[in-house]
Amino acid sequence: MLVASRMTPPRLTPRVSSDAKLALVEFVLGSLDIEASADQALDWLATYAGVRQALCMAVDASGRHLLSVGERGVELAASWGFSIELADQDQPLVRMLNSRVPGHFSGGAVPAWSPLGPSPFHVIPLRAPQSDMHGPADGLLLVAGVARLSADVLWAADVLGRQLFRLRSRHSLSETRFGRERVLLYSIINAVSDPILLTDIEGKLIIANSRAEKLFYSPDDASEGRRQAVSFNNMLFSAALSSGAMEPDEPARRELLLVDPIEGSDLLFEHISSAVRDLREGTSVVSILRNVTDLGRATAEFEDSQRRLRVVETEVREERHRLELIIDSVADPILVTDPNGDIVLMNAPSEKIFAFHWGAADQVQRRVRANGAHFTSFISNLLFSGAQERWLGEINLTNPETGAPLPVEAVAGKILSEKGELTWVVTILHDRTEAMEKGRLYEELKHASEELEMKIHAATADIAQQNELLRRQALELEQASTLKSQFLANMSHEFRTPLNAILGYTHMLLQGVQGGIRPEQRTSLTRVDSNARHLLALINDILDITRIEAGRMPLHVTTFRLPDLVREVMSELEAIISRSKLQVVSDISPRTPLISSDRQKLKQIVLNLLSNALKFTPSGWVRITARHDAPSKTVVITVADTGVGIAPGDQEKVFEDFRQLDTSTTRPFSGTGLGLAICRRLAGMLGGRISLRSTVGDGSQFTLTLPLRLRRK
Amino acid sequence: MTMTTKKDGQLVLVVEDYRDAREMYAEYLRFSGFRVEEASNGVEALEKASELLPDIILMDLALPRMDGWEATRRLKQDKRTRRIPIVALTGHALAGHAEGARQAGCDSFVTKPCLPDALVAEVRRMLESSKGVKRGSSKASRT
């Protein structure tokens, strides 16, 4: 407690709670019993200051004795009735009554009669601060068992001193009451945890409690920083006081920012000040400082978060604005519905369908309501669809302005909260008018295409049918042709069985098997034989042609030497050659390579060509030559004569069936007229061809060109 | 032309369904000194061949009841008749027929129409060549 700068009370360290001190002060002030007060104080010392041995002594009312009024840890015998004559000025304790400071007895200085025994002890003079500064003390406090006197011990001694003084001077009631109340007041304001100050109106300090003392008072040995902080605080406080007008009954409230002199941190106080008018002392100011640092911090944080909230709100508003712009700019209608199915947001295209202006035509309103009903029905489907998060459907809406059908495809998505609860449903509608029109056109196109396809199909079927008919006819023709050839072949064979008998019996008759015959009979039989042979030749040739055409002339390919074949033919024709008187020349190179072909058919061709040449050459020569043409891998056989020759117009006809230019039948081999036709067919079978060069009267030249190796097809 | 007595003549079996041709060949063969037996189908040919064991058989291939190929095959499988030379008579001068006749076991063949003297010449030729191999190979020589 600091009571103005002119007072020097013991400096208290806050080791003992103010409540305990207040309790002691209260007890003392409420008591008029010196011994009870001493006892209480000694109890307090034992409890709070650790003092085990103590003795309290007081000057009696007569002013002649120093008497023991209370003890702790002291032998009763030693203290009971212990008194000291104040007249004995040499008594060490008597001398201590006049001392201003505590004393210490130890060692040899401890009196032999000490009530505390031989232990060293402290002696504290007990006097009231306001008592005569130079008079003797009202009592003594003897303390043993502690090395040093603590602040609490000194404080308790102070309290005891004031009580002794108060009780001794009870003769003045008013004096006593004032003192009591003053002590109580000091104790009360000291016990308050908020700093309390009494100042003049300029802020000059009159009384401060211990809390305020820390802020506005620095001890002499304080650090430089602390002193500066204290002077700074005093300055701020004075400035705060002078800033506001002082109204007597109206406490002023303001914020005051001070510095904690020890911590150095900012302390924010609510400063409540009120003016106190006193007739004698003039106006003074009571200030109570309430620490609101934590409150201030909380307020600052609150404001900070408020500010941040405002920023976020602004951002959200902008974000929403942007979102609305985006949603509005989407050409497709977008709607947001809450879990009840009520529309909470829609973009501009949606509004054209689901909203109408006040005063819109009745039919427009009706259509809008119908659209809304359709939409609600769609949404309720989604809401009842359970877990499904997306819903796709088609809604047949109407354009409210025109009444035109507006088919839309609707895609709805559920928006769920973090807890999985349905919060919104967002639906996007897509106009399907165009798609449906396209679909309709596509269907028409498809239909037209299908019709076309059907027509083509029908036409194709017709053609296929006709083709099938033609194919069948061709097959029938082919079969007919084959049957005809087959028939001819069989018939030719059947012809030969009776011919065989005719020829055989004619021959037997001519040989005289059944007896001799007359010359006339022989002539007739010879004509029968000759005609029968001619018929046989015709039948054989027809048989060959029909077999070739019926595909019943098989090929038998072998490898053979051409010169051998020509020699065979020459020898078979030997009889005719010798009769003809013609020069017949064979010019076949012995180096002619081997031929792979059908030997019998080649021989038939060569035989036919040679016999033709002999037949139609009256004089001159007949020559057969053969050469190998390596590049074309062919062999070329030529039969040339100096015969009658064939006119250019007839040269192709000689290869036709039943053509014979010279119809003379006088020759032994008059021929059938089928020879060259057969030769050309046989040459074709062998992969070759026959050509003719001839001049009338200058002979003919038949050329057979054959591949060296016949390839089977 | 060598004339031999009927008693000494070798036996020729003529198998031919066409009566005129069969009798014509038979007459000319007898005229040429052979003994002749006739058959008009394949079954009859087998019976007479087994019974008479002729020296040579003239076999027409196109026959009723059993054709010449089958008859020839059976004759050539029978130990008693396998050595008898068989000359096939074919109306089809085709390589296929000749090949078929050979595969059936014919020793030679002639193509109709065939004059009687050409047939007799072929018979003589076959008898001559089979005489040389009678004790050797069972296979007759071929043309």
CB of A499 less than 8 A from some CB of B: yes
Residues of B (33-72) whose Cβ lies below 8 Å from A: none
Q: Bridge partners of A135?
A: none
Q: Do residues A81 and A123 touch, judged by C-beta distance below 8 A? A: no
User: Could you check whether the bond before residue B113 is cis, i.e. omega within 30 degrees of 0?
Assistant: yes
CB of A500 less than 8 A from some CB of B: yes
pLDDT of residue A172: 43
The answer to whether the CB atoms of B91 and A496 lie below 8 A apart is: yes
**pLDDT(B39) > 90:** yes
Q: Which residue of A has its CA nearest to B27?
A: A513
CB of B3 less than 8 A from some CB of A: no
Euclidean distance between CA atoms B89 and A500, whole angstroms: 12
Q: Looking at the complex, report in whole angstroms how far the Cα of residue B136 sits from the nearest Cα belonging to chain A.
A: 32
Amino acid at A586: S
Euclidean distance between CA atoms A122 and A146, whole angstroms: 8
Euclidean distance between CA atoms A493 and B61, whole angstroms: 14
pLDDT of residue B69: 84
Q: Looking at the complex, report in whole angstroms how far the Cα of residue A593 sits from the nearest Cα belonging to chain B.
A: 26
Amino acid at A131: S
Size of interface A-B (CB pairs under 8 A): 48
Residues in chain B closer than 8 A to A503 (CB atoms): 113, 115
CB of B9 less than 8 A from some CB of A: no
The count of residues in chain A is 713
The answer to whether the CB atoms of B113 and A600 lie below 8 A apart is: no
A372, burial (CB in 10 Å: exposed 0-12, middle 13-18, buried 19+) = middle
The answer to whether the CB atoms of B95 and A554 lie below 8 A apart is: yes
Q: With bands split at pLDDT 50, 70 and 90, how would you rate the model's confidence at B136?
A: very low
CB of A503 less than 8 A from some CB of B: yes
Q: Which residue has the higher pLDDT, A63 or B14?
A: B14
Amino acid at A223: S
Q: Which residue of A has its CA nearest to B112?
A: A500
Q: Which residue has the higher pLDDT, A76 or B1?
A: A76
Residues in chain A closer than 8 A to B21 (CB atoms): 497, 500-501, 504
Residues in chain A closer than 8 A to B24 (CB atoms): 501, 504-505, 508
CA angle in degrees (0–180, nearest 5) for A45-A49-A54? 45
Q: Looking at the complex, report in whole angstroms how far the Cα of residue A620 sits from the nearest Cα belonging to chain B.
A: 36
The answer to whether the CB atoms of B113 and A493 lie below 8 A apart is: no
Strand B35-39 with B11-15, pairing: parallel
- Residue carrying structure tokens 């003719």: A692
Amino acid at A76: L
pLDDT of residue B58: 92
The answer to whether the CB atoms of B92 and A505 lie below 8 A apart is: no
ipTM over 0.85 threshold? no
Q: pTM here? A: 0.41
* Dihedral angle of Cα A601, A602, A604, A609, to the nearest 10 degrees: 150
- Please tell me whether residue A622 adopts helix, strand or coil conformation: strand
pLDDT along chain A (713 residues), means of 10: 40 64 85 84 88 85 79 67 75 83 81 76 82 74 86 87 77 50 74 83 78 81 84 85 65 83 84 78 81 80 88 87 79 85 84 85 89 86 74 86 88 83 85 85 91 90 89 85 75 80 90 86 88 83 78 82 88 86 85 86 89 86 89 90 84 69 45 78 89 86 90 64
pLDDT tens sequence across A641-664: 998 888 887 777 777 765 554 444
pLDDT tens sequence across A196-238: 888 877 777 777 888 888 888 887 777 888 888 888 888 888 8
Strand A621-629 with A634-641, pairing: antiparallel
Of B24, B31, B95, the CB nearest to A501: B24
Transcribe A396-455 into DSSP letters: EEE-TTT--EEEEEEEEEEEE-TTS-EEEEEEEEEE-HHHHHHHHHHHHHHHHHHHHHHH
pLDDT tens sequence across B55-98: 999 998 888 888 888 888 898 888 888 888 999 887 765 545 66
Residues of A (544-573) whose Cβ lies below 8 Å from B: 554, 556
Of residues B140, B117, B124, the one with CA closest to residue B25? B117
Q: Looking at the complex, report in whole angstroms how far the Cα of residue A504 sits from the nearest Cα belonging to chain B.
A: 5
